[in-house]
Structures are given as structure tokens and as C-alpha cells.
Amino acid sequence: MSKKSLTGAEVLIKCLENKGVEYIFGYPGGAAIPIFDALYDSKIKLILTRHEQGATHMADGYARTTGKPGVVLVTSGPGATNTVTGILTSRMDSVPMIVLTGQTTTPNLGKDAFQEADVFGITAPIVKHSYLVKDQNEIATIVEESFEICNTGRPGPVVIDLPKDITSADTVMPEKITIDLPGFKKTPKANHSDIEHLAKTLKGAKKPLIVVGQGVVISRAATAIQKLAEKLNAPVTSTLLGKGGFPETHDLSVGMLGMHGTAYANRCVEHCDLIFSIGSRWDDRIRPGNAEEFCPNAKKCHIDIDPAEVNRIIKVDASVVGDAKEIVERLVPLVEPLETKEWLETVNKWKKKFPLSYKIQGGLKAQHVIEKIYELSKGNAIVTADVGQHQMWAAQFYRTAKPNRWLNSGGAGTMGFGFPAAIGAQLAEPKECVIAIVGDGGFQMTLCELSTAMLHKLPIKILIIDNKYLGMVRQWQSLFYEERLSGVDLEGNPDFVKLGESYGIKGFRIKRAADIEKVLSKALAYNEGPCIIHAEVVKEDNVFPMIPAGKSAADMIINPPKKALEKPEGST
């Protein structure tokens, strides 16, 4: 008996169902109609976004929350090119994502057909892998391979470009799917002698510092890291994306390091005699432009799943390639407690001497609002941030205790990420409190998704830190470019509460410090749908501490400087 004939699109959707896909974030168009048609009969829920970029950030937020790949479905040409920013975002932060793009028919390829774009070519530099499907019989294998590739080892985005004639053509669902990826390197089992060498290198350190990065979150190594830190008596700092990889509420935590990290974390970097990165790639936000100036007197250790990251930026004394959780679990029994009493005393002194601080006087402060929402939500919310000053303040004042609950565009620094990512997170965790902390600039890049959030009655708290400026660029222009403010004034911002109202979204306003608690409490208690909390903060406030781009921890500026600063040499 011959098997039931299906279209390529039907096989595609069936395969996604078999992979356990709950949601597809998408936006239709001509070339994708066969796929949307197949979705009509599927149990997979389609989240119709208002822009393709939003779809990618939602899928990204979903993936960062669950660890499962986020799936995006868009049409050809502009539909596909609108996903490029989201693909880059997920690539830079190692987030598993599958992007399905409609494409013109195969005979039309290369003919500049209507809504044709070379999506394979355009996305090639930023994908983990990609396919241009030429045979409907290969769809099932390609989906299987894509799931394997996007979420094994160091995760990343996979693009599948699907010509319309291929998704419309008849095929059958194969009985057995065998994947053939001879060049795909699976996560290597960590080499035991490397782990032993690492344990030996740690020995004798008097002033150690553990750095946890995104790799710890991805590998779910938080518990193992805590055991390691407690056994070693070593302080732990986290990168922006590593927040939650070690509880920031723990005594050994020194919070975030880097450009706008805590002063005490950066003091630790400056003075440590051993720095040990677990799942962080020594990114240029946490080290000087000249990598040789980074902790010149400290031993350096590194655990990374990607062999290409080892010794790429920082030459290390010991390294292990593999999964962070597995390695740390195997490392713990091999290490001895370190003599760090003095070091920890010094660190605690720094904590007291240089706490994160701001002045409550002189208008409504973003830091104050964020610190209060941290307290009132008991630090339990899933928090997304956009990109800019508010993001750094959120990183500083919303302490993260658990992994997968702090979602940020770190590597790409994508404005417009925060709000749609919160939609993905809320869909993944419908019962959790999700807070999107966004700036007035970034929020306006993807605010069309207010419809999406409203339609699904997602109780996201959208906290808009509105200073009517592109604050981070303004800060640089104020500090380093003689106050020559260029292109940063966001005059013309809407009244965000009224804007929300037009979508049927509940709005709250905070204009004075005295109102913060009362308003935030009300907003946090509102769960019937999304709400906007419009915090009109002081226009000109700067994020400190700050290490000027390209400089090292020793050059950190802790308090607002009184005189003009030299222009930093670093990139951005």
C-alpha cells in the first residue's frame, strides 16, 4: 500500500510537531502560503506578529527561557530580510533558533522574481548553518538535522529557505529519518587530563575569581558552579549574559563585571591572581582593547564548549573544551579549598566601600524605579531588557538568582529586543511574572507587538524608562565629546500610556519618586493582560561605574567625573 501523499509543507509541519514545537512565531506572505496552509490543521500555535523582527526576538526569548529552539516562519524577500537582525542576535548569544523562510519557486531562483532575495547568501555569515531546499523529499531530513545542529554544542540559528514549488509538491513522510552530518562536531567529552591540569592550575591561588558566562546558563551548570565556588571559597562574577549562572544574592557573588559592572567586581579583575572563565568568551565588554593588558599577573583558566574560543582572545594557562556542567561536576572532586580568607575580606571591604549607588534626590531616577521593582517582585521575575542605559541599570539593580530568567541581547546589542523577547518568555512560562525593562528608544523599534501581547492577554509588565534621549550615546557625547549632543534627542515621543490605551492596554505612570512603590505594586498585581508602566525619569543621568571602551579595570570611573574625559580608543 502506498503511503499517503502529503505536500512538502505538510511534511514540514508534521516534522515540527514531532520535534515538540509548541509555537511558531511568524508573518505570512505569498511564498509562504503553502506552509501557513499546512499550519491551519496543526496543533502548533501560530503567534502572528506585527513585524518579522519581532517574531525572531519572540522565538529568541522563548528559547532563552526554555532551552528549546524557537521557531520562526516568514515569507521570502523582505519578510526574510526583516529577520536578519534577530538571526544575528541569536547567533551572537548562542541561542537555538530555526528560521523558516518562504522563497520564490525554484525555476525563478536568480531571476529577480517578485519578493525574491538571496536569503541563503544574505544570512550565510550569521547562521550556524543553513539550507536552500531543492527537493521536497529532503525536507524531513533537513528539519531533523536543523534541530540537531541548532541546539547541540554551542547553539545558534539555522535558516531553512523553502521555495514555494517545493513546499507545494507532493511527497511522503519518510518512515525513518537518518541524518548524515559527517562534518558536524558533536560536543566532545571533556578530556580528563585537561580537567586534572585545570585542577592543578587552580591550586595555590590566593586571589581567585570565577567568571560565569552564557555557557553556564545554556549548559544548566548553575548548581555545579555553586558547589565549585563554595568548595574553592572563590568569589564569582558574571558577564551580562551569565547573570543567573550564579546567584547574585550569594555571599560569594560580586555581581556583573565589565564596562558597567560593579566596582568591586572590576577591582577583583584588577587584583586577582587567577581568573577562571566558565562559558564566557572574554568578550570586549569585560576586557581591555589590548587583550595582553588583561590581568597580566593572573593565571587564566577557561572552560568553553567551542574549541575556536580557546586561546582566541586570551591566552590561557589551562583550558578544557566541552560542556560546562559536565566539566565542573568532574572538577569539583579534584579541587581543594583555597586559602582565600584575606582575599574575601578585601572583596567585602570593596563591596562596602564602592556599593552601586545613585542619588534619590533631583527627580525620578531609573535606578530607583528598577531597584523597587526588584524588591516588589521579590527578585523572582523573568526580566528582559532592551539595550542602553536602562539595560545596564537593570543589570546592576535587578539581581538575578536563577538561570534563564535574565534575557538580554548581549553580543549584538540589538535595540528592540526586550519587549518581543518578553512575549516569547511569557508564552513559555505563562504563570511567571515577566517584566520587560525597556528604554523609550528601543521600545519604539518593536512596539507594534503591543497588538500581539494584547491579543494573547500576556500579563507582561512593560516598564518604559523614558528619559527622552538615546541615553547611552548621550552619555558618551556628554563625557567624551564635549557635550556635542548629536542625534540623541527623542523629541516627539508619544504619551506611552495613551498609546497603550489605544491597544486596550492598561497603563500606569510614575513621575515622582514618592509614587514608585504605590504604582509598581498596582502594576505587578495587574494580571489580566499586558500593562505599560511609563516612568518619566530625569533626562540626563549617566551609568556608573564605567570603564571607558578599550581600557582596563584599573581605569574604571566609579563616580561621575568633574572634568572632561579623554576620548576612549576602544571600539564602542
Partner 1 sequence: MDQHTISLFVNNKPGVLLRVALIFSRRAFNIESLVVSSAMDGKYSRMTITASGDSKTLEEIIKQANNLVDVIHAGEHIESESIEKELAFIKMKINATNRTEILQIVDNFKSETVDLTHESLIIQVTGKTDKLDAMIELLSHYEVIEIVRTGKVVMARGDLNT
The mark string for 71-110 relative to partner 1 (x by CB under 8 A, - otherwise) is: ----------------------------------------
Place of cell 531553512: 160
Pairwise CA distance, residues 26 & 82, whole Å: 11
Q: Does 302 bind partner 1 (CB under 8 A)?
A: no
Closest CA relative to residue 464, chosen from 487, 494, 488, 484: 494
What the block records as the C-alpha cell of 307 is 574549541
Least distance CB 294 / partner 1 (angstroms)? 16
Closest CA relative to residue 47, chosen from 37, 55, 57, 39: 55
Q: Where are the alpha helices (DSSP H) in 409-504?
A: 418-428, 440-446, 450-455, 471-480, 496-502
Nearer to partner 1, 120 or 246 (CB): 120
Place of cell 512575549: 423
Nearer to partner 1, 185 or 200 (CB): 185
Least distance CB 187 / partner 1 (angstroms)? 12
Nearer to partner 1, 128 or 390 (CB): 128
- Which one of the listed residues 392, 472, 546, 556 is annotated catalytic? 472
Q: Which stretch binds partner 1 (CB under 8 A): 178-186, 289-297, 354-362, 535-543?
A: 178-186
Q: Where are the alpha helices (DSSP H) in 255-340?
A: 263-271, 324-331
Among 149, 356, 369, 465, binds partner 1 (CB under 8 A): 149
Q: Does 399 bind partner 1 (CB under 8 A)?
A: no
Pairwise CA distance, residues 74 & 35, whole Å: 10
Nearer to partner 1, 149 or 437 (CB): 149
Q: Does 306 bind partner 1 (CB under 8 A)?
A: yes
Nearer to partner 1, 158 or 533 (CB): 158
Least distance CB 123 / partner 1 (angstroms)? 11
CB-CB contact of 263 with 545 (8 Å): yes
User: Quick one: CA torsion of 337, 343, 347, 352, rounded to 10 degrees?
Assistant: 120
Q: How far is CA 190 from CA 224, 307, 320, 334, 557, in A?
A: 16, 11, 7, 15, 40
Q: For partner 1, how many residues bind (rule: CB under 8 A)? A: 18
Q: Which stretch binds partner 1 (CB under 8 A): 48-56, 182-190, 322-330, 434-442?
A: 182-190
- Which one of the listed residues 136, 147, 164, 248 is annotated catalytic? 164
444-453 in b/e burial notation, b at 16+ Cβ within 10 A? Answer: bbbbbbbbbb
Q: Is 160 left (phi over 0), alpha (psi -120 to 50) or beta?
A: beta
Burial class (CB in 10 A: 0-12, 13-18, 19+), 193: exposed
| Residue 111 annotated in active site | no
Residues ≥6 apart with Cβ < 8 Å to 134: 106, 163, 166
Residue 98, beta-bridge partner list? 71, 158
Pairwise CA distance, residues 97 & 63, whole Å: 7
Q: Does 183 bind partner 1 (CB under 8 A)?
A: yes
Among 182, 296, 362, 487, binds partner 1 (CB under 8 A): 182
- Which one of the listed residues 17, 114, 342, 567 is annotated catalytic? 114
| Residue 4 annotated in active site | no
Nearer to partner 1, 123 or 340 (CB): 123
- Which one of the listed residues 14, 19, 68, 115 is annotated catalytic? 115
Secondary structure (3-state) at 284: coil
Closest CA relative to residue 35, chosen from 9, 11, 56: 9
Q: Does 185 bind partner 1 (CB under 8 A)?
A: yes
Q: Does 147 bind partner 1 (CB under 8 A)?
A: no
Least distance CB 125 / partner 1 (angstroms)? 5
Least distance CB 150 / partner 1 (angstroms)? 11
Closest CA relative to residue 71, chosen from 150, 152, 165: 150
CB-CB contact of 27 with 48 (8 Å): yes
Q: What share of the chain is helix, strand, coil (3-state, %, to 5)?
A: 40, 15, 45
Residue 171, beta-bridge partner list? 6
Least distance CB 408 / partner 1 (angstroms)? 24
Least distance CB 282 / partner 1 (angstroms)? 13
Nearer to partner 1, 116 or 371 (CB): 116
Q: Which stretch binds partner 1 (CB under 8 A): 300-308, 446-454, 488-496, 527-535?
A: 300-308
Query: Restricting to residues 202-231, which ones interact with partner 1 according to CB under 8 A?
Result: none
Least distance CB 11 / partner 1 (angstroms)? 21
| Residue 246 annotated in active site | no
Q: Does 188 bind partner 1 (CB under 8 A)?
A: no
Least distance CB 215 / partner 1 (angstroms)? 15
Secondary structure (3-state) at 38: helix
Q: Does 560 bind partner 1 (CB under 8 A)?
A: no
Closest CA relative to residue 420, chosen from 384, 389, 457, 468: 384
Q: Does 184 bind partner 1 (CB under 8 A)?
A: yes
Pairwise CA distance, residues 184 & 262, whole Å: 40
Q: Which stretch binds partner 1 (CB under 8 A): 7-15, 280-288, 303-311, 346-354?
A: 303-311
Q: Does 564 bind partner 1 (CB under 8 A)?
A: no
Q: Does 181 bind partner 1 (CB under 8 A)?
A: yes
Nearer to partner 1, 183 or 492 (CB): 183
The mark string for 119-138 relative to partner 1 (x by CB under 8 A, - otherwise) is: -xx--xx--xxx-x------
Least distance CB 555 / partner 1 (angstroms)? 26
Least distance CB 211 / partner 1 (angstroms)? 21
Q: Does 312 bind partner 1 (CB under 8 A)?
A: yes
Looking only at the bridges linking them, the beta strands covering 45-48 and 97-103 are unpaired
| Residue 120 annotated in active site | no
Nearer to partner 1, 185 or 206 (CB): 185
How are strands ordered across the β-sheet holding 531-536?
406-407, 382-385, 434-439, 461-466, 531-536, 506-510
| Residue 391 annotated in active site | no
Q: Does 287 bind partner 1 (CB under 8 A)?
A: no
Positions marked catalytic: 52, 114-115, 164, 472
Contact residues: partner 1, CB under 8 A: 120-121, 124-125, 128-130, 132, 149, 181-185, 306-308, 312
